[in-house]
Amino acid sequence: MGEFTIFHTVAWPSTYAYYFFVIGISAALFFISGLSWFREEFKSLRTSSFYISFALLVVGGLLLISDLSQPMRFIYTLNPFYWNFTSPLTWGSILLVLFGAASVAYFLAMQKNDAALARKLAVVGSLLALGLPIYTGFDLAVHQHRAVWNTPLIPVLFVALSLISGAAVASFLAKGEARLLASLRQFMLVASAATAVMLLSLLVTTANGGSASELTFMFMTSGLLGAVFIGLGVVLGTAAPLVVLLVPFGKQSSGILLASVLLLVGGMALRYSILMGPQIVHTYF
C-alpha cells in the first residue's frame, strides 16, 4: 500500500497519517469524557465522547493492521517475546492494548453506575490516552536521517494536535451549550497557539539545516505538498481558526464551530505533510 516511485519506496505510507489523525482524536475524546467526572460542564459529553473515542480506537487499529503485507502478523505485536523495548512501536502496541482494556473497563463501570470506579478509570485511561500521541510522535522523532521528524518537538506537537482535533469534534457534540463551548474554545485556542509556535520553529530550523533539511523545506513549502502544508495546514488550518477564535465572532457558537472545521482540516493536512514531506526527498536521492 506504500506510495512509491521507480527509484525508492516511501516506507511510511499515507495510511499512517490517517492513523495519527484518528488515534489523536480518540485519545482527546477519552480525556474529555474523563474530564466530565471533575468538571460539571463536560458531563453532557461523557458518553458521546467515549463512544466516538472507542470507535476511532477500533478504526485506528484496523488501519494499522490493513497496512501490513500480512495482516495476521499483528498478533506478534501482542507477544511479549517479540517486544523490543527500545522501539517506540513496541510501546505503542502496549499502550494501544492497555488503553483498549481501560476503555472497556471504563465503559463497564459506567454501565454499572459505579461512579467511584469510573472516576479512577477515567484518570488511568486519560494517562494512557496521553501516551498515544506521544508515542506516535516518537515513532517519527527517532529517525535520525529524517529532517523535520528528528526533533523533540514532534511528540509535543502531536499532543497539541490531538487536543485540538478532539476539542473540535467535541464542539459538535456540545449542542450549543455556552459554558461547554467556552471551555472547548479555550482548549482549541491555547493548543492552536502552541501549535503555531512549534510550526514556526520547525520551519525555521528546517530551512536553515543541512542540504537534506533545505530540500525537505522546499518540498513542504512549494508545489502540491506546499499547498497541503502551508495552504491547508498552516494558513487555513492554524492561522485562520486562531484569528476566528480571537475575534468576538469566535466566542459565539457559530464561530467556534467554524474554527472547529478549519482545525480538523488543518490537523489532517499537517499530519499528512509532516509524514510525507521528509520522505519525498529520499524518493529522488
HEC-encoded secondary structure of 207-269: HCCCHHHHHHHHHHHCHHHHHHHHHHHHHHHHHHHHHHHHCHHHHCHHHHHHHHHHHHHHHHH
Per the rule left: phi > 0, alpha: psi between -120 and 50, beta: everything else, 83 is beta
Give the helix ranges, DSSP H, for the chain. Answer: 15-35, 46-67, 88-111, 115-141, 153-173, 178-207, 211-221, 223-226, 240-246, 253-280
What are 114-123's contacts with CB under 8 Å, separation 24+? 115/37, 118/37, 119/37, 119/38, 122/33, 122/34, 122/35, 122/36, 122/37, 123/34
Domain extent at residue 103: 15-283
**At 52, which CATH number?**
1.20.1630.10
**CA-closest candidate to residue 56, choices 78, 24, 84:** 24
Closest by CA to 64, choosing from 81, 48, 50, 77, is 77
**What is the residue whose three cell numbers read 543541512?**
210
Task: Note whether 192 and 234 are within 8 A (CB).
Answer: no
Q: What is the pLDDT of residue 76?
A: 63
* Residue 145: exposure state from Cβ atoms within 10 A (0-12, 13-18, ≥19): exposed
Does any domain span residue 4?
Answer: no
Contacts of 126 (CB under 8 A, 6+ apart): 30, 31, 34, 35
Instruction: Judge whether 219 and 281 are in contact, CB under 8 Å.
Output: yes
Specify if 9 maps to a domain. no
Please report, in angstroms and rounded to a whole number, the separation of the first and last CA atoms in the chain: 21
List phi, psi (to 5°) of 142. -80, -5
273 to each of 17, 32, 77, 191, 232, how far by Cα in Å? 8, 27, 27, 19, 10
Q: What are the contacts of 249-256 at 24+ separation with CB within 8 A?
A: 250/185, 251/182, 251/185, 253/176, 253/178, 253/181, 256/171, 256/181, 256/184, 256/185, 256/188
The answer to whether residues 241 and 273 touch, using CB atoms and an 8 Å cutoff, is no
Residue 218: inside a domain: yes
pLDDT along the chain (285 residues), means of 10: 54 90 97 96 96 96 77 64 70 88 97 96 97 93 87 95 97 93 96 96 89 88 92 97 96 96 97 92 73
CA distance 266 to 134: 19
2 assigned to some structural domain: no
| 118 is a domain residue | yes
Report if residue 8 sits inside a domain.
no
Number of domains in the chain: 1
**Residue 253 resides in a domain:** yes
Q: What confidence score (pLDDT) does residue 5 get? A: 44
**Within a domain: residue 33?**
yes
